[in-house]
Structure 1
Amino acid sequence: MSRFARGDRAPNPRAGFRDQREKEPPVPQGLIKAARKSGQLNLSGRGLTEVPVSVWRMNVDPPEEAHANVGFDGTDRWWEQTELTKLILASNKLQSLSEDIRLLPAMVVLDVHDNQISELPSAIGELVNLQRLNISHNKLKSLPEELAQLQNIKNLLLHHNQLEEVPNSLGQLIALEELDFSNNNLRSVSSCLGALTNLTRLNLSNNKLKVLPPEISRMKSLRQLDCTSNLLEDIPPSLAGMDCLEQLFLRQNKLTFLPQLPNCKLLKDLHVGNNQINTVSAQHLTHLTSLCTLELRDNKLKSLPDEITLLTGLERLDLANNDLGSLPNTLGNLPKLKSLQLEGNPLRGIRRDVLNKGTQELLKYLRSRISDSKNEENTSPVVTAMTLPSDSLVNAHALSTLKTLEYSNKQATTIPDAIFDAIGSCPVSTLNFSKNQLAEVPPRIVELKESVCDANLGFNKIPAITLNLCMLLKLKHLDMRNNFLSSLPDELEALTRLQSIILSFNRFKTFPEVLYRIPTIETILISTNQIGSIDPEKLIKLTKLSTLDLQNNDLLQIPPALGNCENLRALHLEGNPFRTPRAAILAKGTAAILEYLRSRIAT
């Protein structure tokens, strides 16, 4: 009886082939061979945990075909190989780079973004020809001093790491044109950056910076400076000396005033939204004659100076979510203004229907009021209800003429009964109880259910919307920002005419489910909460929704299906911790964001 009949296993005739496959390197030799001819090697997205030695030594060791009997035709002249100049190792699982990287001294482009690299090898300094280094989306906590030896580097991308400081040696990279430190843990910026006189783009956004060094003004070639989402309370006056500056992003900081930039005559875009700016004076605007975009949304502005008409090149002015009660009529004279955002302001004296007609109609309306105001200046003052004693509770003129019930900025904990008693038979269409200390929606608000269309209860301490508010069935606009809300009642669904709702600066951890069930909704402003997800399939059913502001929430991902919300004209997603879409996509605007999301929908 043979040994196989006794139960012994017969040898697997393909066992040797399996061993050979298991030892096969993760990088096909065909790619290495092609790289020797082109000087470029792309190994992105291959699941590599380390770079094969053959990659580092590809210009040092002779190839396998050098030991074979090959001809001397033009395609096999391995001794005429090209030095590797471009290596892409992005989107792998690399935790480190070998010191053997020095064996590729001709490298011009090195891209290792989206890995798990915690430190760079000191040999990186020997890549003296390197011009572009992308090591973003890794786990770097520090940079090696040898980085200063890269005297030819022009683009250094370090965003989305864990860096806490900028080494002084970085100031020696005088050829740098682009430097991206965004989304790190920087608490300060070294004055050494002032030596980077060829730098045109500097991104410091999403860090923990409280100040900027005055030396930053020495970067005379800088065209774009992004300091979005930091803790800046002040801007150094020396910033005004940056003659070439074209774009300045200071969103989501703690600024209380607009920076003065008298010498920045080329500045085209100034973004200072989501700060605490309460005043814009003429001296802030006088020299910004080239400005095309001025973004001041989500601040505390109460008025605009007439000198805003000096911005003759202004095309986009965003004043949403401020405290503006009126607009200067001269705003209508801005010749190039195409977009004027005003939602979320307690504007009085301008009818809602005028505001809803769009920018051009509003500007036309303001121009028509300029001549009227001039005529009024020539008439003697007339005593009206507006001249009531200061202790009067109700503005009778606003109540009778503008149909507005106003009791705002009183720091009151309750609305006096005298306010509601004064209404009488007046059909109130607008009520403003903002900027008080209200801990609940006033119960008597239900008495206005037959007439009120616009309700402002913002800047109070209201923890919940009660049913009496849900009975205002004619309500079209509701402002509940800066309260203590964490949810909305299902009964809010009864507001079948609701067009806009402002819920910014509250305590929502989930997107209010009831909003998905209000088909008339056109504008939802719910920035600066803690919302972690949204349901795009339910949003798509809101066919009239045109503005959705989800800035400064906790969205870890943006579902691609949101791209199918084709009626959206304004989608704001900045300040969330998601990785895609990237900041470059967000900066292109709503149409680009939606197109990007649609491209990622699985088919």
Structure 2
Amino acid sequence: MSQKSANSRIPRVTNRAVAVSVNVSRGRGKGFRLRGNVGACFHLQQKEPTLHPQIIKQARQSGQLNLSNRGMVEVPDVVWDINNITPEKSKMLSVSLDDTDGEKWWDQVELTKLILASNKLSTIPSKISNLQALTVLDVHDNQLTTLPDSIGDLQALTRLNLSHNHLQALPKSIFQLKEMHSLLLQYNQLEELDEDIGNLLFLEQLDLSHNKLVSIPCTIGYLSHVSKLNLSNNKLKMLPPEIGSMDALRNLDITHNFLTELPEELGILLHLEHLYVRHNHLVCLPLFRGSTVLKELQAGDNRISGIPPELLETLMTVKVLDLRDNKISVLPDEITMLRGLERLDLTNNVLSSLPNALGTMSHLKFLSVEGNPMKSIRRDVIQRGTVHLLRWLRSRMEGSLSEGDDSGHCVHQEIGLHSVDRFTLHVTRTLDLSNKGVKSISEELVKVAVEEDVTSVDLSKNALTDVPSSLNILALKISELILAFNKFSSLSPVVGNFSRLLYLDLRNNQLNDLPLELSTLTLLKELNLCNNRFEEFPPVVFTFEKLEILFASDNKIRIVNVSGFAKLPVLTVLDLQNNDISNVPPELGNLRQLRSLQLEGNPFRNPRPSVLAKGTLALLEYLRDRIPC
């Protein structure tokens, strides 16, 4: 037999999933050998994809079938007939209906959950209507361009995921699925939403993001059970006022559209908690008079030029307020009314100043004003972070010392409730008794401070030599204690009771030591010891493992305790300016977590001023290079 005639008899196998090796024996000229699973080759030539019988059996027993991520271009017919397999069909489908094979065909469960996600399906056949019991259908991440009208026959369907396909339109029958609770249509090519969407009265979640929608029908107002609505990344220019009728709405995302205004009705949504309107063309925001539980408002990347006080009055419950990348030129003092505000982002606006009253918002954990043309605040103040910026603003509010005794303080025997405004306590959560000649504080006043959830106490610029004992009532609430500019020569161990302190300011006193009882301040993040009489760091300082910022300039410190600082793993700012340090140990360079190290004004010769001028990172590297091998 010639080689040509031998090759002509070899079956042509094109399926790439099976490797077939053909070896034609040329030396003997007596034929050829075919290696490989030939049966599998011919089996894969069948047009209809098949499933292992065991998969079908399990589906018939559990009512669930997961065929995701199989590379299928079409669904096997057995799926649509899975609950209608006759003994005749079972032979053709290689499915045993013999009860001796582990399955009683008369005791099967109807299919309720079908997952066909992450395949290559371009169509769904009309026979899907055979699966009348389906409650969950997931066909996301396929190549669907259309859906059959028969999908409307799946009246039991509660969850339908059609996301990440190529759908340009939806069949009207889909809006007949009255039991639908979740409809996911994100990442398609929908240009229009049928007004029959309002028929899905029990819908709770609707995601239409990343489509090409230019409008939303007013019938969306009928969806009174929807709690989460995502319309982001479309081409919307307006929202229908009827959106205010979506009483259950808690989360609304309309970022990345072309909205120039929001309907006033949006502000009456009683249960709205999260509103995302970034990347639009908004010039103002509606008043949220009815949204009494709003927690997060993100309105960055718009064209908002101002924040009216009446708007702030409707945002009293907001914790996160994002107004970055707008055109805001003035931040009103009424911002302090937002007593629950924790994050305020004003990055890249046109602010030239900030209200000093902002410094009283001790509950504010994050404040960003980078990218504004600030004229009244130095850049280094802004770069030091939220805590330092708020403190700087608060210091601008402090007036000059009052006239009184020879120390310049007005002396009172006791500060009582008449000395403060309860509303101010309520709004600022700060008991500010700075520069009032305080010697003691009435328990009545402290108890009121507890009722108003005060977390900050400012006793600076008084003539105190001891901490008022009545403050013990506030011990477990205070996170910020300011005792600066007083006459403390020693600090009472009572301060150790304030175990939730994050910030302790002791600057400008006469301290030369700190009590060991302060070791209970395990949460302390910032400590200010500037302008005192310390000759060395008190050992208790090195027990504050969460300390991030330590100011100790203008003392008499002689030795840099590197081993002590090594116990502070998150220390990033260390200010040792204007002390009596004659030697800087090279091992200090191993404190790589430091981002700001200030050593100017000390009598050491090395490092030289030229090295100090290069900044912290260069200084640490310089010191590391001089560590003895």
> How far 1:331 moved relative to its partner?
1.0
> How far 1:374 moved relative to its partner?
12
User: What TM-score comes out, normalization by structure 2 length?
Assistant: 0.57
1:106-145 correspondence to structure 2 within 5 Å:
106-145=133-172
> How far 1:72 moved relative to its partner?
4.9
Return the alpha-carbon distance in structure 1 between the equivalents of residues 145 and 98 of structure 2: 44
> How far 1:201 moved relative to its partner?
0.7
Q: 2:128 is matched with which residue?
A: 101
Post-superposition Cα deviations, 1:490-527, rounded to whole Å, max 9, x if no partner, equal: xxxxxxxxxxxxxxxxxxxxxxxxxxxxxxxxxxxxxx
Letter of the structure 1 residue corresponding to residue 67 of structure 2: L
Return the alpha-carbon distance in structure 1 between the equivalents of residues 114 and 39 of structure 2: 34
Change (3 A) 1:353 1:61: same
Q: Is the 8 A contact 2:97 2:103 kept in 1?
A: no
Return the alpha-carbon distance in structure 2 between the equivalents of residues 218 and 9 of structure 1: 81
Q: Is the 8 A contact 1:26 1:48 kept in 2?
A: no
1:311-390 correspondence to structure 2 within 5 Å:
311-372=338-399
Task: Please report the RMSD computed on the Cα atoms of aligned residues, expressed in angstroms.
Answer: 2.7
1:588-603 correspondence to structure 2 within 5 Å:
none
Q: Is the 8 A contact 2:313 2:337 kept in 1?
A: yes
Q: Are 1:151 and 2:175 counterparts?
A: no
Q: 1:421 is matched with which residue?
A: none
Post-superposition Cα deviations, 1:273-319, rounded to whole Å, max 9, x if no partner, equal: 00011111101110211101000000011110111111111111111
Change (3 A) 1:19 1:544: farther
Return the alpha-carbon distance in structure 1 between the equivalents of residues 109 and 207 of structure 2: 31
1:382-401 correspondence to structure 2 within 5 Å:
none
Q: Are 1:80 and 2:107 counterparts?
A: yes
> How far 1:172 moved relative to its partner?
0.2
Letter of the structure 2 residue corresponding to residue 90 of structure 1: A
2:272 to 229, 245, 255: 245
Q: Is the 8 A contact 2:98 2:105 kept in 1?
A: no
Q: Are 1:20 and 2:43 counterparts?
A: yes
Return the alpha-carbon distance in structure 1 between the equivalents of residues 374 and 302 of structure 2: 20
Letter of the structure 2 residue corresponding to residue 83 of structure 1: E
Secondary structure of 2:43 counterpart: helix
1:55 to 74, 79, 83: 79
> How far 1:25 moved relative to its partner?
3.0
Change (3 A) 1:321 1:544: farther
Letter of the structure 2 residue corresponding to residue 143 of structure 1: L
Change (3 A) 1:272 1:60: same
2:216 to 189, 192, 199: 189
Q: Is the 8 A contact 1:312 1:335 kept in 2?
A: no
Post-superposition Cα deviations, 1:99-131, rounded to whole Å, max 9, x if no partner, equal: 010011111111111111011111111111111
Change (3 A) 1:365 1:105: same
Q: 1:582 is matched with which residue?
A: none
Secondary structure of 1:159 counterpart: coil
Secondary structure of 2:238 counterpart: coil
Q: 1:507 is matched with which residue?
A: none
Change (3 A) 1:22 1:84: same
> How far 1:258 moved relative to its partner?
2.4
Segments of structure 2 that go 5 or more residues without pairing to the other structure are 7-24, 403-592, 596-629
Secondary structure of 2:206 counterpart: strand
Return the alpha-carbon distance in structure 2 between the equivalents of residues 157 and 292 of structure 1: 29
Return the alpha-carbon distance in structure 1 between the equivalents of residues 97 and 79 of structure 2: 24
1:552-567 correspondence to structure 2 within 5 Å:
none
Change (3 A) 1:316 1:374: farther
Q: Is the 8 A contact 1:205 1:227 kept in 2?
A: yes
Q: 1:41 is matched with which residue?
A: 65
Q: Are 1:29 and 2:53 counterparts?
A: yes
Change (3 A) 1:349 1:87: same
Segments of structure 1 that go 5 or more residues without pairing to the other structure are 376-542, 546-603
Letter of the structure 1 residue corresponding to residue 261 of structure 2: D
Q: Is the 8 A contact 2:238 2:261 kept in 1?
A: yes
> How far 1:67 moved relative to its partner?
7.8
Post-superposition Cα deviations, 1:294-347, rounded to whole Å, max 9, x if no partner, equal: 000000111101111111111111111111111011112224211111111111
Return the alpha-carbon distance in structure 2 between the equivalents of residues 208 and 249 of structure 1: 16
Q: How many residues align?
A: 377
Q: Are 1:269 and 2:310 counterparts?
A: no
Letter of the structure 1 residue corresponding to residue 264 of structure 2: P
Return the alpha-carbon distance in structure 2 between the equivalents of residues 277 and 342 of structure 1: 16
Q: 1:209 is matched with which residue?
A: 236
> How far 1:21 moved relative to its partner?
4.4
Letter of the structure 2 residue corresponding to residue 20 of structure 1: H
Secondary structure of 1:308 counterpart: helix
Return the alpha-carbon distance in structure 2 between the equivalents of residues 192 and 54 of structure 1: 39
1:402-551 correspondence to structure 2 within 5 Å:
none
Q: Is the 8 A contact 1:87 1:111 kept in 2?
A: yes
Return 7-16 or 305-314, whichever deviates more.
Answer: 7-16
Q: Is the 8 A contact 2:292 2:317 kept in 1?
A: yes
Identity of aligned residues (%): 48
Secondary structure of 1:76 counterpart: coil
Change (3 A) 1:17 1:292: closer
Secondary structure of 1:90 counterpart: coil
> How far 1:9 moved relative to its partner?
4.9
Letter of the structure 2 residue corresponding to residue 39 of structure 1: G
Return the alpha-carbon distance in structure 1 between the equivalents of residues 269 and 68 of structure 2: 39
Return the alpha-carbon distance in structure 2 between the equivalents of residues 244 and 16 of structure 1: 63
Q: 2:309 is matched with which residue?
A: 282
2:247 to 220, 232, 242: 220
> How far 1:12 moved relative to its partner?
5.4
> How far 1:261 moved relative to its partner?
1.3
Return the alpha-carbon distance in structure 2 between the equivalents of residues 194 and 62 of structure 1: 47
Return the alpha-carbon distance in structure 1 between the equivalents of residues 307 and 223 of structure 2: 32
Return the alpha-carbon distance in structure 1 between the equivalents of residues 235 and 103 of structure 2: 55
Post-superposition Cα deviations, 1:368-397, rounded to whole Å, max 9, x if no partner, equal: 21224999xxxxxxxxxxxxxxxxxxxxxx
Return the alpha-carbon distance in structure 1 between the equivalents of residues 40 and 258 of structure 2: 61
Return the alpha-carbon distance in structure 2 between the equivalents of residues 207 and 67 of structure 1: 47
Return the alpha-carbon distance in structure 2 between the equivalents of residues 54 and 158 of structure 1: 27
Q: Is the 8 A contact 1:313 1:335 kept in 2?
A: no
Q: 2:533 is matched with which residue?
A: none
> How far 1:71 moved relative to its partner?
4.3
Q: 1:557 is matched with which residue?
A: none
Letter of the structure 1 residue corresponding to residue 131 of structure 2: L
Change (3 A) 1:91 1:71: closer
Post-superposition Cα deviations, 1:201-223, rounded to whole Å, max 9, x if no partner, equal: 11110011111000111101100
> How far 1:367 moved relative to its partner?
1.4
Return the alpha-carbon distance in structure 2 between the equivalents of residues 120 and 239 of structure 1: 34
Return the alpha-carbon distance in structure 1 between the equivalents of residues 396 and 170 of structure 2: 60
Larger radius of gyration: 2
Return the alpha-carbon distance in structure 1 between the equivalents of residues 279 and 246 of structure 2: 24
Post-superposition Cα deviations, 1:249-277, rounded to whole Å, max 9, x if no partner, equal: 10000001122211111110101000011
Change (3 A) 1:329 1:48: same
Secondary structure of 1:87 counterpart: strand
Q: 2:514 is matched with which residue?
A: none
Letter of the structure 1 residue corresponding to residue 176 of structure 2: Q
Return the alpha-carbon distance in structure 2 between the equivalents of residues 195 and 202 of structure 1: 13
Post-superposition Cα deviations, 1:17-75, rounded to whole Å, max 9, x if no partner, equal: 531344383433322221111111111111111111111111111473898584458x4
> How far 1:148 moved relative to its partner?
1.5
